[in-house]
């Protein structure tokens, strides 16, 4: 018996998902490609005069570093920016779509866009795709209601908090924010806390890395700060290595030769 033809509907098509599940049941030896883990640390917090957003600059493809200095802070409106974690193409296209809609709205109404409007567009779009668009976003900006900060998750859920962190390094970054965040912080204190939070995510996560970018948003406008900090610069070893007492003679001789070579290179 032929099945009735389904009417075409807009949005994401789940036919391949059901097909892959059926193939896994029929063919146990089939290996369906799995989603690859990406490494990113993004964070944001509200301070006395506005919002500051931050992100690392490493773009990874599984175990390969694709780009060491990419931009993860995206423009939405003159006083609204968005940090993206997850699939680079998804975050780029989601932010471009939101920026386009906000520009059209500003032209048609003659008013500045609001942060909650941007958040609503993003979360409704992500919810329609049921998590198949891998974009974790932190939206921050200043509008007529003051400074606001939202975190939007890939399935469309969201939260509004005075500080937020997302990405694979979010645990370390959130630990720093929860420990040191205070209301009505100055710009200098907020910037220092943000750098420490992103640095904690970089050093505590193998996927995150590179430099720390930031974006300061106030009622007067926004300022993008590229390479605000470089926490992964090589550090010179302050002292000499010591050998254990139980080291074998051959290993001791090899280590001594290696130490002499290193000392000679330092002298040169």
Burial class (CB in 10 A: 0-12, 13-18, 19+), 54: buried
Residue 117 annotated as catalytic: no
Q: Please, where are the H alpha helices in the chain?
A: 15-26, 88-109, 115-128, 170-180, 187-204, 249-267
Give the 3-state secondary structure of residue 213: strand
Residue 173 contacts residue 205 (beta carbons within 8 Å): no
Give the 3-state secondary structure of residue 223: strand
Selected catalytic residue, list 38, 40, 95, 119: 40
Distance from the Cα of residue 154 to its chain's centroid: 13
Phi, psi dihedral angles at 248 (to 5 degrees) = -70, 155
Render the burial of 135-169: b for 16+ CB within 10 Å, e for the rest: bbbbbbbbbeeebbbbbbbbebebeeebbbbbbbb
As annotated, the active-site residues are 40
């Amino acid at each position: 018996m032929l099945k009735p033809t389904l009417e075409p509907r807009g949005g994401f098509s789940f036919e391949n998902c059901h097909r892959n599940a059926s193939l896994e049941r029929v063919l146990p030896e089939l290996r369906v490609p799995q989603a690859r883990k990406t490494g990113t640390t993004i964070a944001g917090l509200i301070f006395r005069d506005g919002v500051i957003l931050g992100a690392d600059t490493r773009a990874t493809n599984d175990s390969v570093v694709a780009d060491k200095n990419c931009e993860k802070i995206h423009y939405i409106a003159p006083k609204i920016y968005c940090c993206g974690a997850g699939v680079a193409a998804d975050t780029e296209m989601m932010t471009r779509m939101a920026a386009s809609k906000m520009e059209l709205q500003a032209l048609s109404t003659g008013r500045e866009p609001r942060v909650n409007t941007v958040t609503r567009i993003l979360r409704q779009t992500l919810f329609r795709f049921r998590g198949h668009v891998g974009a974790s976003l932190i939206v921050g900006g200043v509008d007529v209601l003051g400074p606001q900060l939202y975190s939007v998750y890939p399935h469309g859920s969201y939260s509004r908090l005075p500080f937020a962190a997302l990405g694979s390094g979010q645990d370390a970054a959130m630990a720093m924010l929860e420990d040191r965040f205070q209301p009505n912080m100055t710009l200098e204190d907020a910037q220092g806390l943000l750098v420490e939070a992103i640095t904690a995510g970089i050093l505590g996560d193998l996927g995150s890395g590179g430099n720390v970018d930031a974006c300061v948003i106030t009622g007067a406008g926004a300022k993008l700060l590229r390479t605000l900090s470089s926490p992964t610069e090589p550090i010179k070893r302050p002292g000499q290595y010591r050998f254990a007492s139980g080291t074998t003679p051959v290993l001791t001789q090899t280590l001594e030769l290696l130490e002499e070579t290193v000392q000679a290179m330092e002298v040169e």
